[in-house]
Amino acid sequence: MALIGTHVAIGGGLVKVGLAEAIEVGAEIIQLFGGNPRSWAPRAGDPAADEAFRAACKVPVVVHAPHLINLCSPSEQVVQQSVEALGLTMERAAAIGAGTVVVHAGSMVDGSRRTAVLNGLHEVIAPVLDRTDVQLLIEPTAGGGEAAASTIESTGDYLQAVNDERVGVCLDTCHLHAAGEDLTKITTDLPVALLHVNDSRDLVGSRRDRHESLGRGEIGLETLKIFLKRFPGVPMLVETPTHAEDVAILKTIRRRRSGR
């Protein structure tokens, strides 16, 4: 069965805060930031704390890369900073025993650059992958700012450009909804390895990335149930204001589907 979990805070300590929250909500998989999500550099590692976390953590761990990273920026400086920040995030993930890093696909800023950017993606990303054995997942965004990947089709183009079997996909229900996708009709052969299951505060096609608690937004539980049926076995994480409640909702959906 698909693992179900949540994004956890780590301010105050990986074990004391992060794992405590995971245990409280009954998470079977967790996601965390390696540091400040609005900073280029992940938090400096503490070998003793990292070892304590690895010893205490009994569930798979996903690290979400900083939001500043934009591998498709028109600024060469930003691309270089993004590559280094992603590399450091991958190394930070390896240090705490996380097997996966999620990074946003990025923004072209200028749509006329799309072909050139896609043609260069493999050379940008491949060196980062060589730094660790951590899996990298590309997360399509909500569609604003000339998004490099937001819809299923554009994400397919992005993955084809990356052209590396070490790279998979993390789909976010709020992002797909905001990008204009009908979640009840999505079918794909993309290598989807993780789902962010979030409701949306905004209408379909809004291009606004504003998460809402499950069943309280514009997507709704029935649509989410249909969507999730298409991805059996894929781990699910919530990034909502009501973590415990929403983890419980997903577990109920899973239990009813399995007949247990």
- Chain mean position to CA 147: 16
Predicted confidence at residue 37, as pLDDT, reads: 82
* Mean pLDDT for the stretch of residues 245-250: 98
Q: How far apart are CA 82 and CA 75, in angstroms?
A: 10
What lies within 8 Å, CB to CB, of 84 at 6+ separation is: 40
Q: What is the pLDDT of residues 100-115, one digit of tens each?
A: 999 999 999 998 999 9
Q: In this predicted structure, what is the pLDDT of residue 257?
A: 84
Q: What percent of the chain has pLDDT over 70?
A: 99
Residue 259 confidence (pLDDT): 66
Split at pLDDT 50, 70, 90, the class of 161 is very high
Beta bridge partners of 107: 147
Residue 166 has pLDDT above 70, yes or no: yes
DSSP 194-218: EEE--EESS-TT-----EE-TTSSS
CA distance 135 to 221: 30
Question: How far apart are alpha carbons 104 and 70 in whole angstroms?
Answer: 8
Q: Say yes or no to pLDDT of 260 above 90.
A: no
- For the chain, what percent of residues have pLDDT higher than 90? 88
> Model confidence at 81, in pLDDT bands (50, 70, 90)?
very high
What CA–CA distance (Å, rounded) separates 41 from 29? 24
Higher confidence at residue 166 or residue 42? 166
What is the tens place of the pLDDT at every residue in 180-189?
A: 999 999 999 9
Mean pLDDT, to the nearest integer, of 62-86?
96
> What is the rounded average pLDDT for all residues in the chain?
95
Over 90: is that where the pLDDT of 13 sits?
A: no
> Considering the entire predicted model, what is its pTM?
0.96
Q: How many residues are given for the chain?
A: 260
Of 56, 49, 52, 61, nearest in space to 94 by CA? 61
Q: For the CA atoms of the chain, what is the radius of gyration?
A: 18
Q: Please state the rounded mean pLDDT for residues 210-231.
A: 98
Q: Is 131 helix (H, G, I), strand (E, B) or coil?
A: coil
Write down all domains in the chain, each with its CATH number in brackets.
Answer: 4-258 (3.20.20.150)
Tokens at 256, concatenated: 């009813």
Check whether 226 has a pLDDT greater than 70. yes
